[in-house]
Structure 1
Amino acid sequence: MDISVVVPLYDEVESLPELTSWISRVMDENHFTYEIILVDDGSKDGSWDMIKKLQLNNPYIKGIKFRRNYGKSAALNTGFDATKGDVIITMDADLQDSPDEIPELYRRITEEKYDLISGWKAKRYDPISKTIPTKLFNAATRSMSGIHNLHDFNCGLKAYRSTVVKNIEVYGEMHRYIPVLAKWAGFTKIGEQVVEHRARKYGKTKFGMSRFVNGFLDLLSIFFVGKFGKRPMHFFGTMGVLSFLTGTIIALWLIFEKLYDIEMHLKYSRDVTAQPLFYIALVAIILGSQLFLTGFVAELVARSASERNRYQVEETI
């Protein structure tokens, strides 16, 4: 099979007939073999009934229904598991992504041998309250991930080689950072394509301001797990040793200073414990010890994990 189109959706009953018809038309015009996987993330507006209705007239449509709303990441991860195509295309169900982009995305994956192509909606129809925070997050993600050639990590329209989606796990709010997950998994040929951003035709956006806070926390999580997931002692241990040594040096300096004052019979010498710097040193020593112990415990957990020696193997002969 050439292409699997994965569409996560939540309360998008109005857009589904037009979207699936559009996708099928593009596929037929380009003679692709395909499947459309619609993942209903606990919709309450009759989206699932619409999917079943559409499937009666289009055998290429497949549906997956969650019992409740789990989020876009869960929908994508489940959809990825169900795909059978050589190239996986993801797009949102709100008609803001154009299926007409699919042939070029497919070509770049198959002919230019990219692992992942991420869409970039250079011209957007979103309000400034959404575009400004998005630009800030994209800048932070580029800096922390080292993927400097992407302008929009969160664009729903993406194309993947099938091996990419089968070797990453999307959870929490990680759908925003799939290119980062792919890079950590060893898929480094990541490209970008300018795509059309269409104004929303039906309904309203399902994402609130909380997504920006969650997105930032998930970015930190990805960065830490990707870099130190199999060697947590390198992070916590280093921080702990530095903090412990800093506190110890300060405390020793205060003690030697006090001994020197006593030796010189200075009348106005202050007690070690009367100096604020002493308590800073004490906190640093305690914090350093705790960080080191955290790293030690995390290292034990990592070594006993079932996936401690699971690595991405590209090819064997």
Structure 2
Amino acid sequence: MRPFAIAGIQMKVSAVTPNVEMMKLKLDITMNLYPWVEMVVFSELCGYGPLTHTATHIPGDFEHQMQALAKKHNIWLLPGSIFEKHDDKIYNTATVINPDGEVVTRYRKMFPFYPYEVGVTPGSHYCVFDVPGVAKFGLSICYDMWFPETIRTLAVMGAEVILHPTMTGTIDRDIELSIVRAMAAVNQCYLFDVNGLESGGNGKSIVCGPDGRVIYQAEGNEEIFPLELNIERVRRSREYGVLRLGQPLKSFRDHIGQFNIYQPGAHLPYLNSLGPLIKPTKMEALAKLKMKENEYEPPSGPTGYKGFGEL
């Protein structure tokens, strides 16, 4: 299998005005500087910023503009994500576009950043797609990664490269960097994480290989980072082990039936004792909430989410 070149674009994101024209400029610059790049990835919510009032229908104008750019430059394009308005719900949705300008697939973020990413409904489907002659790719967005089951599922579905647009501007970014390394190692895959700047995050985009080692880490400034990935490294890791040592995917396969907490109807008294998913509050209010802990019941429905209103 031949190597495959991906460029991440870490750019400033405004919450006040659309960032689409700057995305176009950054993409033009990228392809002028690095015409050998075959895929470009932007950060989460890069197009219109982090406020849900920008939600729009998909397909729509943003996606159409990105399709034209992918075809113009003959590249695979992941233009981050935007808030999607669908019926009476809002999703955080990413689109995958091929070099012919065709939408190959879309992905709705499965784990919105509750209780902070208010008013956003979780998606329910995993996303993998093929780049013919190269590899199978998986798509994950930001907080999804904090739930190891999501990345593991993509790996079990065959993903060898996981693309991860994110929008992290909080003080836990260093924790996320360690999670990227861990997820790449335990799933024996490339993990390509692209963060934004200003309203779109605090940078530090990171790319790790199937042994969990850092291939590249950006700083806190605007950057274009093109990298050529050798997919054969994933296949050798999965066959022979991480650094020719542990073989976590094979071990997971051989013991997959032992995880009783995932069985339908599993009794989870400790998790239910943790109380509702709400923002931390002042100690006085927290004390009152603690008094009601015994009355707490997990929300109904497949996601356990009842909604918090819109930003």
Note whether the superposition's TM-score is higher than 0.5. Answer: no
**Structure richer in helix, relative to its length:** 1
Please give the TM-score of this superposition, normalised by the length of structure 2. Answer: 0.29
Larger radius of gyration: 1
